[in-house]
């Protein structure tokens, strides 16, 4: 049910700190193409929220005029929730199902709007006690609503198949056809009422591996001090590790790299046991729910065929010579005899400063997105002009950036804009999300407008790819061009190749466990080390320490998820390539994708728009773009 989805995502927000992890209209957690650290403004220079110009604030009055309007809607939702029990035990007629689904949508839509308003006000100033309380009130309301309507899915699934088929075929329920089809598809893996109740009781136990890893990794893990570029002893932390890997000083990079993995090596038995427990938990659920494998269980929710996953891995294997070529170029640009794993994040060119004001960023993005046509540009301008965007940092404001909103109103974008290239790409990224929601919401009814995480990063990354193409084509400064090419090429490396390597590691360790093999620290390290050798090629000296990297990746506790980063990036690159090469026909297909929301299975929505992720073609198209980038970089280094 949509309400259940809304509730779970709202709850997830309270425990996820990523600036790209938000409910409903969600960024899925990936960063924009250019991932350098934002320059932070010193606290004593920050404006208070009350001092920020209204022109640079979003307009939350488009959600609710004032607190009184919020309170009135809240009271109305309580009344609607009380009506839910009227349908319990009675979902056996077309009319009762339609009325119940209509009530579900009304409640869910209102709860979404109430929560979004409260939380976005809180994000303006996270110290504000009024909106802290209001956010908690909205969250509790969502949980109460979910509990009140929790009977709906089990009741409908208890119906005979012919009854469900009749509901699916009935024109009165045409707005809910896809929902009912999904219920029937899931039915084969739903157990008896008693068995489901038993599984629900062990649900908290199933979170133990992830919880234990989180505590060990975030609370108990302590890294040694290392010497920085100036010979000063500094504390090494999770947060500072990437900074030291990006250091121009190779000794600093090496010291940080070795210190991190030596620390994980001391905990290898505990972490291996934790990861193994997570894999065994997955196997338990897949077998109890009668799936052929954990991989197929994990893909089933989005109705993704196993071939999508295996095609990604196979096609990236086919494209590994491109990554090997990039490693050879990286080695040349760094001027080293041996390229080591700790050199992968080292800057290839000197920092190229690009001062870009917010107004210039908006203008440049609009120019870069010209290939998408006047309709898209008009919607983009509407977002610029009409209170969608909260632009600058202020005291207490949430960090990072996101796109969010509620059905029935326009989307919103939170920024902490600095006058640099990264901030411009962040704006392009978030407006991609925003316009995806804008088109879906305007084209579809509430239930069908909610797109999946599998699709979420496609529109945002398509915007970035088109903007990058525009910047590269207009650049005449070789240093600027190399700076742009380096960042773009590294995004391919980290988002496509690296995430696919992670995905292959997950696949291999689950297959080993499903065959009865033990996931010992040595077995995990051997698998991971061999993958690094395979992916990085002969120009990389694969350091023995990298064999322990599996121990620090939290994504492995959210199994078979990371492949979506690679497929989303590939789909976006394919879209941008088609748009640039074909023009209007490709634009029309892309706008059709934006208007499709979640009205069909994700794979079908992409396929109708010209990106068939069940085939290797989109990944190959993305790899051809990567190859062109490397060629341009090679030409600039001659």
User: Total domain count for the chain?
Assistant: 1
Mean pLDDT across 518-537: 98
Quick one: DSSP state of residue 249? Answer: -
Residue 166: inside a domain = no
Looking up residue 230, the CATH number of its domain turns out to be 1.10.287.830
CA distance 504 to 294: 14
Task: Decide if pLDDT at 367 tops 50.
Answer: yes
pLDDT of residue 20: 24
| Mean pLDDT rounded to a whole number for the chain | 90
Residue 394: inside a domain = no
Secondary structure class of 403 (helix, strand, coil): strand
CA distance 316 to 562: 15
Task: Decide if pLDDT at 28 tops 90.
Answer: no
pLDDT of residue 150: 87
CA distance 520 to 276: 8
430 is catalytic: yes
Give 71-87 pLDDT, tens digit per residue: 999 999 999 999 999 99
Residue indicated by tokens 């609503």: 145
Query: To 5 degrees, how large is the angle CA 265–CA 270–CA 273?
Result: 120
Secondary structure class of 413 (helix, strand, coil): strand
Cα 160 to its chain centre, rounded Å, is 37
Task: Decide if pLDDT at 31 tops 90.
Answer: no
Q: Which secondary structure element, helix H or strand E, spans residue 540, and what is its range?
A: strand 540-541
100-133: burial string, b at 16+ Cβ within 10 Å, e else: bbebbbbbbbbbbbbbbbbbbbbbbbeebeebbe
Mean pLDDT across 211-217: 92
Residue 284: inside a domain = no
The alpha-helical segments, DSSP class H, found in 188-337 are 193-201, 203-206, 208-215, 238-245, 250-266, 268-288, 294-300, 306-318, 320-334
Residue 259: inside a domain = yes
Output the DSSP codes for 121-163. HHHH-TT-HHHHHHHHHHHHHHHHHHHHTTTHHHHHHTS-HHH
Task: Decide if pLDDT at 40 tops 50.
Answer: no
Residue 231 sits in which domain range? Answer: 222-266
Torsion of CA 595, 600, 602, 606, to 10 degrees: -50
Output the DSSP codes for 428-491. HHHHHHHHHHHHHHHHS-HHHH---HHHHHHHHHHHHHHHHHHHHHH---HHHHHHHHHHHHHH
- The half-sphere exposure of 244 on its side-chain side, counting CA atoms within 13 A, is 25
pLDDT of residue 44: 53
- The structure's pTM equals 0.88
Residue 238: inside a domain = yes
| Cβ proximity of 372 and 466 under 8 Å | yes
Q: Which of 430, 464, 480, 545 is catalytic?
A: 430
User: Could you tell me the pLDDT band of residue 26, with boundaries at 50, 70 and 90?
Assistant: very low
Mean pLDDT across 385-400: 94
Residue 257: inside a domain = yes
Length of the chain: 638
| Cβ proximity of 571 and 312 under 8 Å | no
Residue 227: inside a domain = yes
pLDDT of residue 154: 87
Query: To 5 degrees, how large is the angle CA 500–CA 502–CA 508?
Result: 100
CA distance 543 to 593: 44
Asked whether the CA dihedral 416, 418, 421, 424 is positive or negative, the reply is positive
pLDDT above 90: percentage of residues in the chain:
83
461 Cβ contact list (under 8 Å, min separation 6): 30, 33, 429, 432, 568, 569, 572, 573
Residue 621: inside a domain = no
């Amino acid at each position: 049910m949509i309400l259940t989805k809304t509730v779970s995502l709202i709850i997830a927000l309270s425990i996820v700190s990523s600036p790209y992890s938000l409910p409903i209209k969600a960024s899925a957690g990936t960063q924009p193409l250019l991932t350098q650290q934002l320059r932070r403004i010193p606290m004593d220079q920050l404006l208070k929220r009350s001092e920020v110009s209204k022109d640079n604030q979003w307009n939350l009055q488009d959600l609710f005029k004032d607190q009184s309007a919020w309170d009135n809607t809240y009271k109305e939702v309580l009344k609607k929730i009380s009506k839910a029990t009227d349908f319990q035990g009675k979902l056996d007629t077309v009319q009762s199902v339609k009325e119940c689904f209509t009530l579900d949508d009304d409640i869910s839509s209102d709860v979404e709007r109430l929560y979004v308003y409260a939380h976005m006000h809180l994000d303006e100033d996270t110290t504000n006690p009024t909106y802290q309380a209001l956010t908690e009130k909205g969250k509790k309301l969502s949980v109460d609503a979910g509990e009140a309507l929790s009977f709906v899915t089990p009741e409908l699934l208890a119906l005979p198949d012919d009854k469900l088929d009749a509901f699916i075929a009935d024109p009165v329920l045409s707005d809910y056809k896809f929902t009912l089809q999904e219920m029937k598809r899931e039915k084969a893996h739903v157990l008896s009422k008693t068995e489901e109740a038993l599984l629900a009781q062990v649900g908290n136990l199933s979170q133990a591996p992830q919880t234990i890893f989180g505590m060990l990794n975030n609370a108990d893990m302590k890294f040694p001090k290392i010497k920085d570029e100036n010979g000063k002893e500094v504390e090494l932390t999770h947060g500072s590790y990437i900074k030291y890997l990006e250091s121009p000083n190779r000794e600093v990079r090496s010291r940080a790299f070795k210190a991190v993995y030596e620390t994980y090596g001391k905990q290898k038995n505990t972490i291996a046991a934790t990861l193994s427990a997570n894999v065994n938990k997955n196997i338990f659920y897949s077998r109890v729910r009668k799936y052929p494998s954990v991989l197929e269980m994990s893909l089933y929710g989005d109705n993704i065929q196993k071939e999508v996953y295996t095609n990604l891995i196979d096609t990236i294997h086919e494209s590994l010579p491109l990554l090997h070529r990039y490693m050879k170029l990286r080695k040349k640009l760094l001027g080293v005899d041996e390229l080591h794993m700790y050199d992968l994040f080292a800057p290839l060119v000197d920092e190229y400063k690009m001062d870009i004001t917010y107004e210039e960023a908006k203008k440049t993005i609009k120019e870069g997105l010209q290939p998408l046509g006047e309709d898209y540009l008009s919607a983009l301008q509407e977002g610029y002009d009409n209170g969608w965007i909260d632009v600058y940092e202020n005291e207490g404001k949430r960090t990072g950036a996101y796109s969010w909103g509620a059905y029935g109103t326009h989307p919103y974008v939170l920024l902490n804009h600095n006058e640099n290239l990264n901030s411009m790409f962040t704006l392009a990224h978030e407006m991609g999300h925003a316009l995806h929601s804008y088109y879906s919401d305007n084209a579809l009814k509430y239930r069908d407008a909610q797109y999946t995480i599998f699709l979420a990063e496609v529109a945002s990354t398509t915007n970035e790819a088109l903007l990058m193409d525009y910047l590269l084509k207009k650049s005449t400064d070789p240093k600027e061009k190399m700076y742009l090419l380096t960042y773009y090429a590294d995004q391919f490396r980290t988002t496509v190749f690296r995430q696919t390597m992670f995905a292959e590691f997950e696949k291999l360790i689950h297959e080993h466990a499903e065959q009865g093999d033990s996931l010992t620290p040595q077995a995990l390290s051997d698998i991971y080390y061999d993958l690094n050798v395979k992916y990085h090629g002969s120009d990389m000296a694969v350091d023995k320490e990298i064999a322990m990297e599996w121990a620090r990746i939290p994504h492995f506790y959210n199994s078979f998820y990371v492949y979506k980063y690679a497929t989303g990036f590939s789909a976006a690159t394919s879209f941008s390539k088609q748009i640039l090469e074909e023009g209007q026909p490709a634009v029309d297909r892309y706008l059709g994708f934006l208007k499709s929301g979640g009205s069909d299975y994700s794979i079908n929505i992409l396929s109708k728009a010209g990106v068939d992720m069940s085939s290797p073609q989109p990944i190959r198209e993305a790899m051809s773009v990567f190859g062109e980038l490397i060629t341009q970089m090679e030409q600039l280094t001659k």
